[in-house]
Amino acid sequence: MPDIAFEHTYVALLIVSFLAATLLPLGSEWLLVALLLGGKSPFLVVVIATIGNTLGGATNYLLGRWGSTWLIRKVLRITPEQQHRAESWFTRYGSLSLLLSWLPVVGDPLCLVAGTLRTSLSRFFILVTTGKALRYISLTWLTLRGSELLL
C-alpha cells in the first residue's frame, strides 16, 4: 500500500509553499525537509517550493497594488505596524529589500508594499524568486549535509 503522505508530494509542496507566503501562518520548510529525507529530488523540491512561495508573494504584491485595506488587514492579517516596518525597509533599501521577502513577519508585508509602491513586476519577480530560491537551496544543503553526518 503506498504511503498517502508521499503520493502527491510535489503538489502538496507547491500548495503549502504558496499558502505559507499568503493566507496561513505556516511554514513550508517542514515539508521540504520531510521530502528530502524521504528521498525526493533535491532539484525538484527546491524548484517547486520556490515557485509556490514566489506565487504566494506575488499574490501579496497584487493585493498591495489593487487590494483594499480590508483585504490587507483581515485576509492577510498584516497589521499597520508590520506594513509600516516594511515600508521603512523598502524606503531605506529600495526594491533590493525584496531579496528578504522570505523572512518571517516582514516578508509578506514587503511584497505587499512592493505592490503598493508599484515596483515593476519583472523586478519584483527577479528579486523575490532569487531570495526565496536561495533560502530553499540553503535549507536543502543543510538538510542533506546534516543527514549525511547523522548516517
What residue has cell string 497584487? 62
Per-residue confidence band for 120, with pLDDT thresholds at 50, 70 and 90:
very high
Per-residue model confidence (pLDDT) at position 125? 97
User: Which of 76, 123, 71, 67 has the alpha carbon at shortest distance from 97?
Assistant: 123
Per-residue model confidence (pLDDT) at position 24? 67
**pLDDT(55) > 60:** yes
Other C-beta atoms within 10 Å of 28: how many?
25
Instruction: Look up residue 90 and give its DSSP letter.
Output: H
Per-residue confidence band for 1, with pLDDT thresholds at 50, 70 and 90:
very low
pTM, to two decimals: 0.84
